[in-house]
Structure 1
Amino acid sequence: MKCFHYAAAVFLLCCAVVCLPPQRRQEAPAAKALPAAAAAQRPGQKAGADGGRPSAPEETPPLLTFSVLSDIHIEAHDKLSQELLRTALLDHAAIAPESGMMVLNGDLTGGNPADYDALAKALNAMPHPPLHATMGNHEYYRMWRTPFGSADTSKLNPFWSTRQAVELFTRSFGYEKPYHEAEAAGYTFIFLSGEGYRDVDKDAREDAYLSAEQMNWFAGRLSEASRTHPGKPVFVFLHQPLVHTLKGSGQERGVTDYKAFRRVLEDYPQAVLFSGHSHYDWSLGGQAVRTGFLSVGSSSIRKVLDFDEKQVHPPKSESLLVRVYPDKLVIRVREHYSRSWIGSYVHRLR
């Protein structure tokens, strides 16, 4: 993927949002659309703390900075979704050019190959740090499309399946499986994905179906991280929140076998579970909650909702910036329409 020099990044930041050309209809899978987008694209100089404006240097530089974006909902025909992603990427490049990672935590697309193409095009055109991604329930939504492309939620598309949806996601990002791990600055990052939709488990609904293989792998990675990095937080990403953690999370199970998932996490109080899915406005509260481990919601890029499931007005587009210090995590909430901070949470490390 083409890398941007600092001058190019500054040029992009000073320009109006770039409009993508109309996407052609594509029925064939978007083979290898995004592996290149997962490489680092970094501006070369630190900008200010708010909208690129200069600010006083922090007394203690963080050990690691990373961004969390979820619910981007890129669709080839939806130009607003692409514009909002570009805006968020430019904003993060301005507020945290030192960032070591960006996480796209599910509901990245509408599940169609053309959507992945549009996502790749937007990512390849903007500066960003190395990317990691998870699958959300919308990555399976081609199962609600008829062979003619229209939506029909009364029955599943017989020409699309969980297997094809997972293959499209993993091929697009260059992953072997829909879940993986990474290390950054001596910290462990674990990325989980729902592996099946209603054709695999008819009772899955919109919850994350985690196979026994993934659950065993997850428990093993937590154990290994606890052994190799004692005392350090372990960052876990899953699109759906665990039931009865964040405010508003009691409406769904989040994970099909949520009891087993909770049992695994409760053995590791240093775990920090990031989720999206709800789209809830961070400023309404209850989106960073400790229940043995810390749960954190990341709101939504595409459409921010209130607790009545209605879009907030004026519209918002929200994501997180996380800075890691030896004794704490500082989680700040960014609203991208106004390019302003709208919330924060300090998590003291034990």
Structure 2
Amino acid sequence: MRLTPLVIAATSVALVAPTAAQAHSPATHIPAAPGVSVPGGRYEHSVELNFRAERGTTVRYTLDGTTPTRDSRAYSPGRPLRIKKDTNVTAAAFRGGLSSVPVARGYLIKSREKPLARLVVMSDVHVGSHATADKKYESFFDTIGSIFPRPDAILSNGDMINDNGDGKGPDHRIVSEIFQTELARKGMTGTRLLISNGNHDASLAAIRAGYPRAWFPDSGGGYYESDVKGLHVLTVNTETYDSDTAQRTWLKKRLAEITADRAQKGKPVLVQGHRPTTGTTMDGQQAANPRLAEDLSAFPQAILFSGHSHLNIDDDRSIHQRDFTSVNDGSMSYVEVDHGYQAVTEDGLADRFETPTAQALFVEVYKDRTEIARVNMAADKHDIYTGGQWSANWQPPYASAGTLAGSTWTVRLKGSTSRQIKDNFRYTDSARNTVAPKFTTRTPLSRVHDAEGGTALRIAQAEDDQMVHHYDVGITDATTGAPVVSSKVLSDFTFMPRPNTLDIPVPGAVRGHRYVARVVAVDAYGNASPAASLTFRK
């Protein structure tokens, strides 16, 4: 679906390369992406950014995750852009009617207070070969190093490989080789790696055979305890938890002993297990092990990290508190959204719930709080299908590496009793966000034509205090009364930068017929904007 652009590169990260004849003309040469004086990463002070670009171009930038356009703020050489808080900075170089590929960088701005421990939490690695994973993990570990040069631990929370009962257990050695290579390359010699068992990890024996003993020090049941700089980390085996009496007894006993220790007051107990438990993150999607939720309910100091679902961490439903804290890890291979939505693709609207985005959590435990940053390893705009074939193996470089997938979550364990701690939870069902998205332009809807003369409805994306999840789109042929489009269309929120517009094709549009479009922007909690409407003819 090729549509005539109304704004420069606003709907796509990828740009078409100029022809050989055009390459010699400055007016038709697509500018190179701008460089920046300070790389993205974690800083304990504000940073000042200067951009570098080709002569004759203007650098324009955004600070809200959107794609820069000709109307975005222009960088003035010699006047640095100061970043004082966590921010995604997206910049592109413009010359005339052309722009570069936009490049996004994430900046985490912290104080000089030192955390007790720093941990990276990832999940669903799904590595199958060196050929598809080596370069990806070189990029991923570069991103890890830009935030935590020496993490105290990396938790890899299940599904390290792609075994489906088909004998791929030896692939664990491939993952081990890749991770050991990257840890050595980045000088992370003191970083502990702690693995949990997932449903695609073959057998416990295959895990033990594939990794150094220190990475999976279980005593036979796939569960174990680790000490990370005085912080208790309990790894559970969610493939057997509900039916494993010994594991349940062990977990409850250790939680009771740890939380009874006065020296642990205010400190979290981190629990990692591959599958989410019932009634917690993402409205309970793809959850299992109700007895794990039951056993953790007496311990509000517990923070449970889980993966398995591949559900994205852009969505603030990925953290949940009631009796304890649950956090969704996202996925290092590809992410998902709730089923039942469509996405704009090169072929028009298509049923999609997956995108080739990789994400992880960066956890800092302080004396009085735990801060959990959400980070994209790769979030460039791509369809999960290429030439009709499904593939999540997009290769670097990634223009979005290290960008932030949302604001940092802060977990505080305030109170002297379990009841007091629970009463002070902030990410509860009762405290859910109630702010609705809103359209911020006077004319958020417009009609556009594609190169073949077809008609499409262009939506200028709405704004929200967290994120716009999707749009309820209805288009009716008013001449005949027949509905033409009735769809829930994803806002492409898993990509960085987010496209500024979405083009919804109007299939079978008839010349001279009158069409009525109605669009409502909806966030992840179901808060809905007032409807935007447009009447148009082909």
Deviations 1:177-224 (A, max 9, x none): 31111112222110011355xxxxxxxxxxx55511111111111112
1:195–1:211: 8 Å Cα contact kept in structure 2? Answer: no
Do the aligned partners of residues 80 and 306 (structure 1) sit closer, same or farther apart at CA in structure 2, a change above 3 Å counting?
farther
Q: What residue number does 2:228 align with?
A: 184
- Structure 2 Cα separation of the partners of residues 273 and 242 of structure 1: 9
1:324-345 deviation line (CA, Å, top 9, x unaligned): 1111111001101212112221
Please give the residue correspondences for 1:78-227 in structure 2 after superposition, counting only pairs within 5 Å: 79-111=131-163, 112-127=168-183, 128=188, 129-140=191-202, 165-173=203-211, 174=213, 175=217, 176-177=219-220, 178-196=222-240, 210-227=243-260
Q: Of 297, 303, 327, which residue of structure 2 is paired with 1:266?
A: 297
Decide whether aligned partners of structure 1 residues 317 and 55 sit closer, same or farther in structure 2, where only a CA change above 3 A counts. Answer: farther
2: distance between equivalents of 1:49 and 1:237? 31
Alpha-carbon RMSD: 2.3
Aligned mates of 1:72, 1:308 — CA distance in 2: 22
CA offset digits 1:100-149 (Å, max 9, x no partner): 11100001112423311210111121024210000011113xxxxxxxxx
Flag the 1:308–1:218 CA change in 2: closer, same or farther, 3 A.
same
The number of equivalent residue pairs is: 262
Equivalents in 2 of 1:55, 1:118: separation in Å? 39
Q: Distance in 2 between matches of 1:293 and 1:53?
A: 30
Code of the aligned partner of 1:341: L
Shift of 1:250: 3.8
Secondary structure in structure 1 of the residue aligned to 2:121:
strand
Please tell me whether the aligned partners of residues 124 and 331 of structure 2 are also in contact (alpha carbons under 8 angstroms). Answer: yes
Distance (whole Å) between structure 2 residues aligned to residue 124 and residue 334 of structure 1: 22
- The whole-number CA distance in structure 2 between the counterparts of 1:194 and 1:346 is 26
Cα drift, residue 312 of structure 1: 4.6
Q: What is the TM-score normalised by the length of structure 1?
A: 0.69
TM-score (structure 2 length as normaliser): 0.46
Amino acid in the other structure paired with 2:150: E
**SS of residue in 2 equivalent to 1:283:** coil
Where is the helix percentage greater, Structure 1 or Structure 2?
A: 1
Select which of 333, 352, 374 maps to 1:333: 374
Contact 2:266 2:368 in 1 (8 A): no
State the SS of the aligned residue for 2:404. Answer: strand
Q: Aligned partners of 1:301 and 1:172: how far apart in 2?
A: 19
Residue 275 of structure 1 pairs with residue 306 of structure 2: yes
Structure 1 position 65 matched with structure 2 position 65:
no
**Greater strand fraction, Structure 1 or Structure 2:** 2
Give the conservation status (yes or no) of the 8 Å contact 1:190–1:237. Answer: yes
**Distance between the aligned counterparts of 2:314 and 2:228, measured in 1?**
29
List runs of 5+ in structure 1 lacking aligned partners: 1-47, 141-164, 197-207
Secondary structure of 1:107 counterpart: coil
